[in-house]
Structure 1
Amino acid sequence: MAYLEKVSPLQRVQHPARSGSLLLSAGVAILSALIFVALALRILNYEMRKDEQLYVPPIRLLDTQEIYRDFFYNHTPGSAWLFYGLGRLTGSDHLLLTGRLGVLLGWVVLIAVIGGISYALTQSRLISWCIVILSVTNELFLTQPGMTATNNLLPLPLSFLGLGLFILGVRDERDRPMLYAGAGFFLSLAVCFKISAVAFIPPVVIASFLLPRALGVQERGLRVVAPLALGGAIGGLPVLLYLVTDRQRFLAHVLGYHTGPHVQYMRMPGVADEGAAMTLAAKLLLAHDIWLAAGVAVALVAVGALLITLLWGGGEARPATRGLTMGPAWVVVGALIFSAALSFIPTPGFPQYFAQPLICIPLALAVLFAGLGSNERRHVAPALLAATVIALVIAAPRFGQYLGTALHPERWTVMRVHDGGVALAERMTEAGADGRVATLAPIYPLEGGLEVYPELATGPFAYRTGDITPPALAGQYRMTSPTRIGALLDSDPPAALLLGFDDTLEAPMVAYAEANGYERVTDLGIRDRYGNAVLYLRRPGQAVSSPAP
């Protein structure tokens, strides 16, 4: 009773409020940890995709070979070197696991930069958390583009950070050369992971000549444009290095393949069923399905609510907040326009090509909320929190899909793929088959520590276009083709052929194995979404000859 007499009425009211705030913080922390665990399990359990046959092998190949020169790789080198570096750092022989952990690292960076930039703009931990969740629950990111060991997710946090740093620099009209240098660095570094990340550079370059408005033209050139260009040059060094040392080969892989044989192959009858969008109408439909998916639509409604409140809310200090918001808002609009337009340029179109504009949504949320007055924020915050809850409900089935495997790592896809590679190596050892493995699924033999042919080391992509690639372009690739594979194998007979994943492309290899009496093994236990592995083993001392054409 004596204690109660000493406590003021105001303190009695504040104690429950403080307790409620602590409970809310604890609840958010627990929910965030659960979401992250679910995200990690989803990445480790997601079914292996064909694209990973290109991106994962460099983890082993780069030990002794040089990218582009010694094996085919049709993208900028960032993801290859990241995955390889993680492999060297961890010492792991689980290749798919290493690649997927690289993607998980990309997610950690994406979450951190969205949260950090959002908080720097809004000064609100709760709103920043909502913006992060609205981004993490994006349907596209929770499917193949964001789950597999590829370069699809990796440039997004770098692009977001570059845009965010530039916006922070121009927002308060102050001289911030280091922010502009950082913006240029990360925007260029993103291009080292995926060439389409170049979409975010033009709007920032244009804005650097116009913002901040408080600076004069000459001062803007020295304090904004110059640092931005310097940072960009440093961030782009990995690409610039290849352009200087081996320009023709680099461009043949990164641009020549995608604009030539790849397009021609995808136009061939029976190939478009891989989900490629070959026409503008098909691309528009694909963009609609991605950009207006349920979770994205919820985030867009939140953006609309903030925009309406900012434009017509009539809150306090509006002239000042509007002045600070318009410049950054136009940067976001420019980034959205350029990235959306670039999404439609590649043919064929795939879902991952439409991922870039989606990072403009959290930027828009942060910039618009930052422009609101305190009274408007109190009215809008519940709506943003409600949108976050709805997005979580929509994404809950995907987050919960693999929670049951948490205590059973042997069931994880990354572990099963590695175990399949080990089983392959053991079967070959038992049969006395020593040498290279011919396959269009090189991850499996590489997981088992086996050697593959350099011409087939990154999967079916160069192989399937080999017969339609112009000679001048083909001279830049280390590759073979369905009509030349027999001669390659005859010159260096494989110890085994791992097939069963593509009946059409593998037909010449099956013919070679059968013509040369390789022993057919079907109980290897390797199975994925593309088929059941069939192993053809060469017996010790077995002679080989070329199959009939």
Structure 2
Amino acid sequence: MASVAAAIVPARVGKATRSRALLAAMVAIGLALVGLFGRLMTYPLRHDEQMYLPIATMLARGRLYDDYGFNNLPNLPLLMHAVLRVTGAEQVLLAGRLTIFAGWLVAATAMLLLVRRLTRSWPLGALAALLLLTHPLLLGPAGMLVTNNFLPLAFVLMATYLLIAGADRDVPAPLLVAASGLCLGVAAGFKANYVFALPPFALAALLAPARLPLMTRMRRVTLPFVAGGIIGALPPLIYLTKDPSGFVTHVLGYHSGPHVAYWTANADLDGAKILDLPGKLVLAVKVWLISSAGLIAVALLLAATAAWRLRGYGAARVRWPHRLIVALLVGGLLVSFVPSPAFPQYYAPPVPFAIALAVTLAGRIKGRARAAALLLLLGALLLSAPRLALGWPDAVRSARWTGTVTHDQGQRLAALLRAERRGATIATLAPLYAVEGGLAVPAALATGPLVYRVGDYVPLRQRRHYANWVSPTTIDELLAASPPAAVLVGFEGKLDGPLASFARSRRYRRVTLPWLSDRYGSGTLYLAPAASISS
């Protein structure tokens, strides 16, 4: 770290010193990636993974929205379905976590290249990549789970680099610009919140670089960007075209209606949930300023310092790539307050752009202010880096990886059903365990608890869009129509009640599973009487 500081703080250093600094930075990035890999592989299983991954294994047998009631944009289950099909992986969660790690590699590479291009400094690019890899918010659920929170961030970051690399040059490169549009379209297909990135990118692609004639700019920048964006956004566009009303109901209607209604009525079910703006502001302060070592405050401080130090350079020095990053930072800040209820992972969108802005501005400051700014950033890095060191041993202990453990639990569950000469269908709000064992899950429960729990809050006019609509008050009827071979409960508290009641009322035999547990509870299995099994 000292060699990195020695290279990036002084205004001029020798070539040999810069080479040593770059080597040290690359070693640091490698160590950070190893620690991140270990942390990612051993991060505890969470609710959301009980939705995205089971559905990905079932897409060949049903429709994403109508049959399974999926409530987000389609790219993550489609991506995981493709990964599982291409690789033939049997360990579903492990394949998902490895996919998220690949997203981290994309994000770190994009950050390194972006800041290097803006500052003409590889050490500064490496510093920005390290700040991203060690950011506390991203080392939580936002970046450690197989959900749609991190991957769109990686794609937006790569889109930013590609647009700047393709358009900010003497002769724009249409292929790079088209690749930027492609990445942005893909990002938008993961999570609806990332619509915040569309206006800044659209303006940049339309107006930059301003020195080019309009038609040249349209031909080499705007049209390639739009073409790439349309191709990248094809999956959600196809679903939207096929069933506009159903698509809007599942993606937007769910989050603005039943989802909010459920948490309003059950605010104390899983701890107090933040639904109002004052509460969101308090959470934002905790997430952005305290737990992230004040990185955004650092960015703002650097911005003010840079504005003071660079007054003599004139407005021309503030070029469109910097404006694009600032616009993305502001848009990310604002969109973080949109979802309700608020969770820390929803505050991730501005993080990479705050890092890019902070390091870029630090690179432009001269003299002692530059040294102070860079040392401040190094301090933020040193505060966060030790957490990754804890992941080094786990990076090579595959038996402890959450994906390995979960797969083994699923296999034991399947073996138990085979030993009892039961069928292969299991009703549960933790379908990933069944999927890891090669067992079948009713389509209505393929999303785990996330759609089931809001079923009673779905308006009657919207239920026609759910081919397998179910809720806690109707699950008994659904299971009675096609009794499963077993019922697995124990992970979802009160939500498991109706499933357990069904099993007891049909005289299913209760079996405790002390070896099947996670952060939410321990498994209890109910085995159907042989005469009642329908599968």
Normalising by structure 2, report the TM-score: 0.90
Q: 1:129 to 1:444 in 2, by over 3 A?
A: same
Quick check: 1:32 aligned with 2:29? yes
Distance in 1 between residues matched to 2:390 and 2:16, nearest whole Å = 34
Q: Residue 532 of structure 1 aligns to a residue in which SS?
A: strand
- Superposition pairs of residues 418-437 of structure 1, within 5 angstroms: 418-437=407-426
Q: 1:121 to 1:24 in 2, by over 3 A?
A: closer
Q: Which moved more, 1:141-150 or 1:122-131?
A: 122-131
Corresponding letter in the other structure for 1:62: L
Q: Which moved more, 1:48-57 or 1:385-394?
A: 385-394
How far has the Cα of 1:218 moved from its partner? Answer: 5.4
1:432–1:539 contact (8 Å) kept in structure 2: no
Q: Residue 541 of structure 1 aligns to a residue in which SS?
A: helix
Corresponding letter in the other structure for 2:321: P
Q: 1:338 to 1:388 in 2, by over 3 A?
A: closer
How far has the Cα of 1:490 moved from its partner? Answer: 1.0
How far has the Cα of 1:402 moved from its partner? Answer: 3.5
1:325–1:367 contact (8 Å) kept in structure 2: no
Aligned to 2:9: none
Q: Which moved more, 1:87-96 or 1:203-212?
A: 203-212
Corresponding letter in the other structure for 1:363: A
Distance in 2 between residues matched to 1:300 and 1:169, nearest whole Å = 31
Q: Which of 179, 186, 198 in structure 1 is aligned with 2:195?
A: 198
1:428–1:434 contact (8 Å) kept in structure 2: yes
How far has the Cα of 1:454 moved from its partner? Answer: 0.4
Q: 1:19 to 1:167 in 2, by over 3 A?
A: closer
2:414–2:434 contact (8 Å) kept in structure 1: yes
1:353-384 alpha-carbon deviations (Å, 9 max, x no partner): 21111121233246535656xxx3x7666446
Quick check: 1:158 aligned with 2:151? no
Quick check: 1:528 aligned with 2:528? no
Q: Which of 69, 83, 86 in structure 2 is aligned with 1:86?
A: 83
Aligned to 2:322: 329
- Superposition pairs of residues 137-152 of structure 1, within 5 angstroms: 137-152=134-149
- Superposition pairs of residues 363-402 of structure 1, within 5 angstroms: 363-365=356-358, 367-368=360-361, 376=366, 382-383=371-372, 385-402=374-391
Aligned to 2:241: 244
Aligned to 2:112: 115
Aligned to 1:506: 496
Q: Residue 525 of structure 1 aligns to a residue in which SS?
A: strand
Aligned to 1:547: none
How many residues end up aligned between the 2 structures? 521
How far has the Cα of 1:330 moved from its partner? Answer: 2.1
How far has the Cα of 1:247 moved from its partner? Answer: 2.0
Distance in 2 between residues matched to 1:274 and 1:146, nearest whole Å = 22
Larger CA Rg, structure 1 vs 2? 1
How far has the Cα of 1:204 moved from its partner? Answer: 2.3
Q: Residue 530 of structure 2 aligns to a residue in which SS?
A: coil
Q: Residue 318 of structure 2 aligns to a residue in which SS?
A: helix
Corresponding letter in the other structure for 2:152: P
How far has the Cα of 1:18 moved from its partner? Answer: 7.3
How far has the Cα of 1:501 moved from its partner? Answer: 1.3
Quick check: 1:292 aligned with 2:294? no
Identity of aligned residues (%): 34
How far has the Cα of 1:462 moved from its partner? Answer: 1.5
Q: Residue 141 of structure 1 aligns to a residue in which SS?
A: coil
Q: Which moved more, 1:504-513 or 1:19-28?
A: 19-28
Corresponding letter in the other structure for 2:407: H
How far has the Cα of 1:61 moved from its partner? Answer: 0.9
Corresponding letter in the other structure for 2:301: G
2:41–2:395 contact (8 Å) kept in structure 1: no
Aligned to 1:358: 351
Quick check: 1:409 aligned with 2:398? yes
Q: Which moved more, 1:193-202 or 1:24-33?
A: 24-33
Corresponding letter in the other structure for 2:284: A
Q: Residue 480 of structure 1 aligns to a residue in which SS?
A: coil
Q: Which of 427, 430, 433 in structure 2 is aligned with 1:444?
A: 433
Corresponding letter in the other structure for 1:333: V
Aligned to 1:485: 475
Corresponding letter in the other structure for 2:199: P
How far has the Cα of 1:425 moved from its partner? Answer: 0.6
How far has the Cα of 1:167 moved from its partner? Answer: 3.4
Q: 1:219 to 1:32 in 2, by over 3 A?
A: closer
Q: Which moved more, 1:497-506 or 1:388-397?
A: 388-397
Aligned to 1:6: none
Q: 1:140 to 1:19 in 2, by over 3 A?
A: same
Normalising by structure 1, report the TM-score: 0.88
Distance in 2 between residues matched to 1:298 and 1:251, nearest whole Å = 36
1:415-435 alpha-carbon deviations (Å, 9 max, x no partner): 111111111111111111113
How far has the Cα of 1:275 moved from its partner? Answer: 5.3
Aligned to 2:6: none
1:164–1:363 contact (8 Å) kept in structure 2: no
Corresponding letter in the other structure for 2:448: G
1:75-125 alpha-carbon deviations (Å, 9 max, x no partner): 111111221222122221111111111111110100111112222222211
Q: Which moved more, 1:347-356 or 1:143-152?
A: 347-356
2:32–2:134 contact (8 Å) kept in structure 1: no
How far has the Cα of 1:491 moved from its partner? Answer: 1.0
- Superposition pairs of residues 272-311 of structure 1, within 5 angstroms: 273-274=270-271, 276-298=273-295, 300-301=297-298, 304-305=301-302, 308-309=305-306, 311=308
Q: 1:159 to 1:504 in 2, by over 3 A?
A: same
Q: Which moved more, 1:112-121 or 1:529-538?
A: 112-121
Aligned to 1:471: 460
How far has the Cα of 1:43 moved from its partner? Answer: 0.6
Corresponding letter in the other structure for 1:510: A
Aligned to 2:103: 106
How far has the Cα of 1:442 moved from its partner? Answer: 0.2
Aligned to 2:53: 56
Corresponding letter in the other structure for 1:38: G
**Higher relative contact order, chain-length normalized (CA < 8 Å, sep 6+):** 2
**Structure 2: gaps (5+ residues):** 1-12
2:181–2:227 contact (8 Å) kept in structure 1: yes
1:165–1:182 contact (8 Å) kept in structure 2: yes
How far has the Cα of 1:334 moved from its partner? Answer: 1.9
Q: Residue 527 of structure 1 aligns to a residue in which SS?
A: strand
How far has the Cα of 1:283 moved from its partner? Answer: 0.9
1:243-296 alpha-carbon deviations (Å, 9 max, x no partner): 112222222211111111111101004446445320010111111112213535
Corresponding letter in the other structure for 1:337: V
